Amino acid sequence: MQLIRTALRNCAIFTLPVLACTQSYAQSNNSCEPINRPALASFDFTEDISRWGTKESFDLDSTHFTIRNISVNRLPIFDEESEDENNAAFRWINRVHMPTREKVILHQLLFEKGSEVNSQMLSENERLLRQQKYASDAKIRVLNKCGEEVDIEVVTREVWTLVPGFSFHSSGGDNSLEFGIRDSNALGTGQRVSAFYSSDTNRNSYKLSFENPNIGSTHRTLKTKAEKSSDGFHYLADYSLPFYSLDARQAWRFSFESTKEIITQYQFGKKITEVQRDKEDMEISRGFSAGLEDGITKRFVFGLRKENYDYAIGSRLQAPNALPQDLNLIYPFVEYESIEDKFALAYNISQIHRTEDLSKGRQLRFSIGYDPTGDQHLVLQGNVSDTLLSQSKMLLQWKADWKGRWNRQENTWEDTLINYDLDFHRGQTEKRTLYLGFSASKAIHLNSSQQLTLGGSTGLRGFDSHYLNGDALLKFTIEERYFSDYQLLQLLRVGYAGFVDVGKVYGDPQWGADRVYKNVGLGLRLAPSKTDEGRIIHIDLAYPIGANIPGGKSLQLVVEAKASF
């Protein structure tokens, strides 16, 4: 009505007939085609998504269109229209929760009112919003289409971010405990703060951290951490402008990290030796890109790194037969990154009833540096991933990463580790999936403080952590997964798994190498749905099978939080 009154006043000012002006307004208003209604609290983010991948689309005919209006719709944590979530406790949480400030969400957008955008930009912006800690899910919707103009609604689901953090990890005899408080959306600003105490088999630690992921709405980030532990410390300061979108043209970084810690070595899950390591890393870098061209983003980063490693005898256990040699490196480096803009929306693959951004294209990052002093080291690291098969009820993906040094004086590799993973998902029903996972790792001349291990949370869940050690390993897992619709107390989504693990390491038989180890087990999966914790709690019971198990057989409990099912 206010808009109509304004239009009528304007007509009077310009002495136009009132009837003609009213008809003109109506014609302009009717030229818009309604596409969607604003989302309600019960909005289901996965409703229009195929479980095995829906191509991102905004159902718009025009390649480019102009943003006429942007509205931000922050859905409450609990849906009070739902009988299951309409109770005194949940209503109280909705009332006292401090919602994300609207400007925080607007500043994460790659466009603004009046911008000319396309479907690719809107799709990417959805992915960026889903990466933020202050929302459990996000969607960008077209409300109205008015010729070449559109009205956009940005929908997010609020989560409770100020929580007393508590976690317990148990895996093959290694227990760890962590508790404290964290807020990943302090006062609704999107900034993250935390204070924690943790204890595990190696150390007790006090930790403080702060992160601002978007300083002054410039996409610059600041990360700081301070940790004091019983065996040392860990400090981090990182100030950067990352490549925050596929079309971003520049990036830079200033980073400093210092760590003092005890590194423990194992044999059949038992501690045998330890090494104290002082590590210091620094980096200054600058990145450039031509942006997204023909569906591919290519980036180049140039910079300078400093890495110092100093080793000493620990205070509780004896040292290995030979301490690692100290290492001091200062080297320029160049990094290349390539990302294919091939993404789809999915759910119930790695998460439980949550929108997943499924990458179907190749992603490659490769870095090389050279220190001309001393032994003249060539430093290499990187990773690559791709999707080999993606169709209804089937998904096959692989990835690899590597990190190591080539010593030119000795003509040999040092501290080099290469990992390869292959994952296959076969949908059986809308809720059941057969998962097959294969992993291989190869270590080349690791120093005496490091080990390539298998057991517990690293695979072979029926055995102690760090049970097997070797120069290479193979691991195969088969899981029958079930994604239920049940929510425990409306707070945790529930899933189940039955699994078999098979693994083998290669190397010295005295470390358990050169034979195959197996276990069977059952698992419970709990995915928090109302907090910012995007990880899934794994509770697994596993039992080793086969004969002549060093140390004997026992039922193992593995409790940990992982990024996926």
DSSP for 99-162 reads PPPHHHHHTT-S--TT-EE-HHHHHHHHHHHHTSTTEEEEEEEEEEEETTEEEEEEEEEE-B-E
Among 81, 134, 137, which Cα is nearest to 107's? 134
CA 136/CA 232 separation, integer angstroms: 36
CA 201 to chain centre: 26
pLDDT of residue 540: 93
Measure the CA angle with vertex 84, ends 83 and 90; round to 5°. 100
Residue 459: which of 529, 379, 560 has the closest Cα? 560
Residue 514 confidence (pLDDT) = 84
- pLDDT at position 259 is 94
Length of the chain: 565
523: its two tokens: 């698992």
Q: Please, what are the averages of pLDDT over each run of 10 residues along the chain (565 residues)?
A: 41 35 40 88 87 72 82 92 88 90 92 88 90 88 89 92 65 64 88 86 83 91 92 92 94 96 88 93 97 94 96 89 92 97 91 89 96 93 95 93 95 96 94 96 94 87 89 96 92 94 91 89 92 82 87 83 86
Nearest to residue 104, comparing CAs of 191, 13, 222? 191
pTM: 0.84
Contact call for residues 85 and 57 (beta carbons, < 8 A):
no
Q: How far is the C-alpha of 254 from the C-alpha of 237, rounded, in Å?
A: 8
DSSP conformational letter for 531: B
Tokens at 408, concatenated: 């030119």
Cβ(182)–Cβ(194) under 8 Å?
yes
CA-closest candidate to residue 404, choices 390, 415, 392, 389? 415
- Amino acid 469 reads N
